[in-house]
Amino acid sequence: MNEVTAGLLPEGLRDRLPPQAEAAAALLRGVLDTVASHGYERVQPPLVEYEESLTGRVGAESGANAKLLRFVDPVTQRTLALRPDITGQAGRIAATRLAHYARPLRLSYGGPVLRVKGTQLNPEREMIQAGAELIGSDGVAAVTEVLLLAVEALQSAGLETLSVDVTLPSFVGALAAGPWPVAADKIEAVHTLLDGKDVAGLRAAGASHYEPLIAASGPAEAALAALRALHLGPAFEARLADVADVVAALPADVRVTLDPTERHGFGFQSWIGFAIYAPGVRGEVGRGGAYAITHPDGHRETAVGFSLYVDALVDAGLGLSAARRILLPVGTSRADAAKLRAAGWSTVAALTDNADPHAFRCTHRWNGVEAVAIK
């Protein structure tokens, strides 16, 4: 091994050391325990699949294809890829091996994902994703359940202050196909202008009738009122009422905003999407929304889910627990050691006399009779 590179890892990959590695595991465990308590059943798809399995179906998320770390499998001689996301794998399972299960089908998952490149905001290429998917409905009850579950999981992880940004991914497209017509070849341009909140651009593009959407963005209640005031007709008004119901179900201490034109990263969601933020945490702490899964026979099934990356929570200092480590001098009986572990201690057996408890990160030392706190 080259001594210069010894211990070096490729760009975007890292070792989690103590105590952060334990924090990551504890946070993942906590999230999965929360979703399990709501009846979500665990699936564990493989890290590697045929490339086309990862880009098809739900993977239609914009840019999913470009995220894949691919290689040719020496065994099958086909191109495989590392999963950049587990949501799509859960959808594949729901549409194939669990197609015969009753709906709604509630699935959960947690594990590493890999992408070919990090982003400017987050240079990591390997992350730990956890999430839950409810398959077979994207109605208000289903969306509310999943959003509240995401909030509960994040609050359990120690994030007391959360804000939720609600988006309406299919809203602009539906307007363009209905009450606010836009030529099919101009929809993308209008969307881009709305993304940039570019009022002047909208006017120049002859889409100034979309301007009110830019104003109808901000705290959810006010934004919904502004959207209702546009009198878009019964179908839109029913959808807005659904959104209002979801928003109203959130705990009072969660700040909720609505942006009807935001679509960044919501390429595969349908009528509602959400991103969750917390002070002190880089980027989003979770996201999700309603979407559809395509079955092998081509039919589409509604679903709603959320996922989060444990890494951002670890980096924000969450998941650490106060260690109760006790140093056991040489000669401590196995029975004493077992009793201490049963009482919740992590025992650290000294292999030499006069071992320094500090060097082993111990808070206590066993004197043969009791645990003595280390000064």
- Residues forming the annotated binding site for L-histidine? 85-87, 115, 129, 133
Cα separation, 26 vs 39, whole angstroms = 20
- Report the SS3 class of residue 326: strand
Q: Which residues, 6+ apart, have CB-to-CB distance to 171 below 8 Å?
A: 239, 260, 261, 271
- Candidates 2, 353, 354, 369; binder of its own copies (CB under 8 A) is 2
Binding mask 175-214 for its own copies (x = CB under 8 A): ----------------------------------------
Q: By C-beta, is 207 or 348 nearer to its own copies?
A: 348
Contacts by residues 25-30 (CB-CB < 8 Å, ≥ 24 positions apart): 26/319, 26/321, 27/157, 27/310, 27/313, 27/314, 27/318, 27/319, 28/110, 28/128, 28/130, 28/310, 30/153, 30/156, 30/157, 30/319
Question: How many residues of this chain interact with its own copies, rule: CB under 8 A?
Answer: 94
CB of 173 to its own copies, least distance (A): 23
Three-state SS for 269-325 is CCCCEEEEECCCCCCCCEEEEEEEEECCCCCEEEEEEEEEEHHHHHHCCCCCCCCCE
- Candidates 119, 333, 346, 367; binder of its own copies (CB under 8 A) is 346
Q: Is 137 in the site for its own copies (CB under 8 A)?
A: yes
Cα separation, 16 vs 24, whole angstroms = 8
CB of 157 to its own copies, least distance (A): 16
Q: Is 354 in the site for its own copies (CB under 8 A)?
A: no
- Candidates 122, 186, 360, 374; binder of its own copies (CB under 8 A) is 360
- Candidates 142, 172, 193, 232; binder of its own copies (CB under 8 A) is 142
- Candidates 62, 63, 78, 248; binder of its own copies (CB under 8 A) is 78
Q: Which residues, 6+ apart, have CB-to-CB distance to 252 below 8 Å?
A: none
Q: Is 49 in the site for its own copies (CB under 8 A)?
A: yes
Interactions with its own copies, residue window 89-118 (CB under 8 A): 89, 92-93, 95-98, 101-102, 104, 106-107, 110-112, 114, 116-117
Q: Is 43 in the site for its own copies (CB under 8 A)?
A: yes
Burial of residue 174, with CB atoms counted within 10 A of its CB: 0-12 exposed, 13-18 middle, 19 or more buried: middle
Q: Is 279 in the site for its own copies (CB under 8 A)?
A: no
Q: Is 87 in the site for its own copies (CB under 8 A)?
A: no
Q: Is 333 in the site for its own copies (CB under 8 A)?
A: no
